[in-house]
């Protein structure tokens, strides 16, 4: 957080005259403003110094004083935070179209990423065409079912990598523990690479991974770094932290790598057409045959879409699985129940198959409970008010940034008994799901801009977690117990455990 204090000193010097002229807005909720209630902020800086390192937790604490909708001014950005399932329902059911635009952070403007990526693109013809194509042609149940063998092989590779790593650490004098999230990330990366490009891209033997893998990790780190320009857009030209310059270079490099993959795959498709179409082939075919806006997609936009799949899929999967394993290791009874269900349904010595997921309600409950307590993107992807709108008796100005605090909603005691406890059994008693219809559980969002990849995420999360539990016995050593008890988080593309889970894996006897 040193950059914040450096910025504070600089801004005081630069903006002191503005601060003297700044007029505090009327008290939130007063007749003059009709804005939602919220804490008063500093002149110029607003509430930016009140949020702390984990703003989703800090803002959740404001619900008691200010209610389900909280108004903040973060730097110069007006921000509304939705903090209850009822308020989320009002937003997504009654005002979805009015808040259909996205808040775009500065680094995502590099190479027009924000104009091409489905998650960020302006709400209009291009977005509608791409959403229709992805949900119907790329990420529909039928198409995902056709790629089951790809995920099965990638998960088998992950199991082999973890088994080999466990044996090596067991033979050495160092800790026997393995870095669980690293292997899950590599497997997820390869799953997405095979779905998009019909090829593996990484392996644990390479210390840095492939050039593309390294480039994507750099983009993830850069895009997850707090940028003062997002709070004070007038600093855009100065780029005081140099993040825009850095990501411009990194994205240019990454796009060139992706362009090489696409060209190579195009040549392969011409010379050796395969029975199973990967997502790139589906996208190219749809672009060539469609009469809608997808006809106008440039190669540059296509490359951005491929990058977006990797950014959205790999980090989300690995961080969620890591939290699931942490919670199961903390709760041995839940671990035993999940393993017993797998033993009964899959059978000892058999590989867990994707088709068995629907026969494993407790495993699915573990995934749901993990997403309830640890949504990978706590505020979801921020929205923006397209126009001034009346919302829950408040008048929300145009261009207001909107956070939906999925973390706070998932821990709201009015929705959940023993809200802070990890208790998967609660999902055996209710039909609550995360597909956007139950607003008390919305880790992937809701409404028209809900994550298009939910069907794929559902399969990947359950398949990966179920395979880890079915293939290995898990434990932690004394150091691991202390690391596991450390509940600090690291903000980035997703919220991860700050201290990675290092767990001891032993292959289950067959």
State residue 9's pLDDT score. 38
Three-class secondary structure of residue 461 per DSSP: helix
Q: How big is the chain, counted in residues? A: 510
Distance from C-alpha of 290 to C-alpha of 286, rounded to nearest angstrom: 6
Integer angstrom CA distances of residue 457 from 10, 358, 460: 44, 14, 5
State residue 277's pLDDT score. 76
Three-class secondary structure of residue 340 per DSSP: helix
Distance from C-alpha of 295 to C-alpha of 285, rounded to nearest angstrom: 10
Structure tokens at 465: 């977690």
State residue 11's pLDDT score. 47
SS (H, E, C) 229-285: HHCCHHHCCCCCCCHHHHHHHHHHHHHHHHHHHHHHHHHHHHHCCCCCCCHHHHHHH
Structure tokens at 448: 């028209």
Integer angstrom CA distances of residue 53 from 4, 57, 170, 226, 445: 11, 9, 37, 10, 23
Three-class secondary structure of residue 338 per DSSP: helix
Can you say how many angstroms the Cα of residue 328 is from the centroid of all Cα atoms in its chain?
A: 21
Distance from C-alpha of 188 to C-alpha of 201, rounded to nearest angstrom: 11
Cα angle value 314/266/191 (rounded, 5°) = 20
State residue 213's pLDDT score. 84
For the chain, 510 residues long, the average pLDDT of each consecutive 10-residue run is: 43 41 43 81 93 94 96 97 98 96 95 95 92 84 88 95 85 74 93 88 69 86 90 94 94 92 87 75 73 70 91 90 97 98 95 96 98 96 96 97 98 96 94 94 97 94 97 93 88 86 86
Structure tokens at 431: 């039909």
Fold of 25-507: Cytochrome p450 (1.10.630)
Strand stretches in 329-412, DSSP E: 383-384, 389-391, 394-396, 401-404
State residue 29's pLDDT score. 47
């Amino acid at each position: 957080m040193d950059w914040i204090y450096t910025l504070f000193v600089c801004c005081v010097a630069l903006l002191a005259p503005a601060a003297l002229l700044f007029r505090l807005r009327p008290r939130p909720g007063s007749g003059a403003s009709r804005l939602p209630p919220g804490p008063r902020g500093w002149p110029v800086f607003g509430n930016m110094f009140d949020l702390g390192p984990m703003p989703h937790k800090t803002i959740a604490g404001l619900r008691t004083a200010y209610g389900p909708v909280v108004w903040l001014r973060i730097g110069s950005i007006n921000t509304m935070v939705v903090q209850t399932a009822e308020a989320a329902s009002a937003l997504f059911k009654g005002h979805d179209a009015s808040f259909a635009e996205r808040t775009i952070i500065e680094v995502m403007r590099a190479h027009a990423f924000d104009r091409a990526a489905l998650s960020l693109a302006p709400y209009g013809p291009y977005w509608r065409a791409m959403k229709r194509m992805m949900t119907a042609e790329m990420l529909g149940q039928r198409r995902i079912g056709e790629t089951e063998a790809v995920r099965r092989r990638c998960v088998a590779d992950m199991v082999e990598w973890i088994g080999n790593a466990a044996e090596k650490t067991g033979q050495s004098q160092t800790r026997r523990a393995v870095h669980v999230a690293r292997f899950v990330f590599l497997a997820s990366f390869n799953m997405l690479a095979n779905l998009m490009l019909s090829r593996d891209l990484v392996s644990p033997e390479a210390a840095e991974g492939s050039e593309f893998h390294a480039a994507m990790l750099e983009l993830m780190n850069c895009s997850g770094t707090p940028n003062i320009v997002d709070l004070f857009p007038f600093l855009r030209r100065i780029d005081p932290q140099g993040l825009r310059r850095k990501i411009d270079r990194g994205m240019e490099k990454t796009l060139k790598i992706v362009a090489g993959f696409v060209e190579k795959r195009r040549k392969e498709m011409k010379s050796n057409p395969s029975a199973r179409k990967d997502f790139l082939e589906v996208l190219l075919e749809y672009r060539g045959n469609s009469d809608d806006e997808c006809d106008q997609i440039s190669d540059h936009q296509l490359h951005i879409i491929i990058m977006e799949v990797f950014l959205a899929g790999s980090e989300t999967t690995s961080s969620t699985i890591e939290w699931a394993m942490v919670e199961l290791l903390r709760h041995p009874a839940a671990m035993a129940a999940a393993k017993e269900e797998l033993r009964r349904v899959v059978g000892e010595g058999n590989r867990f198959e994707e088709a068995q997921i629907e026969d494993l309600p407790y495993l699915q409950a573990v995934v749901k409970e993990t997403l309830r307590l640890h949504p990978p993107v706590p505020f979801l992807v921020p929205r923006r008010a397209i126009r001034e709108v009346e919302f829950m008796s408040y008048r929300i100005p145009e261009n207001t940034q909107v956070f939906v605090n999925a973390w706070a909603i998932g821990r709201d005691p009015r929705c959940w008994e023993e809200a802070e406890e990890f208790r998967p059994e609660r999902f055996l008693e209710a039909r609550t799901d995360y597909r956007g219809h139950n607003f008390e559980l919305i880790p992937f969002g809701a409404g028209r801009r809900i994550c298009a990849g939910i069907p794929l995420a559902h399969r990947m999360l359950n398949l990966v977690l179920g395979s880890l539990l079915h293939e290995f016995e898990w434990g932690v050593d004394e150091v691991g117990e202390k690391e596991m008890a450390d509940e600090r988080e690291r903000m980035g593309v997703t919220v991860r455990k700050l201290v990675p889970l290092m767990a001891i894996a032993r292959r289950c006897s067959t």
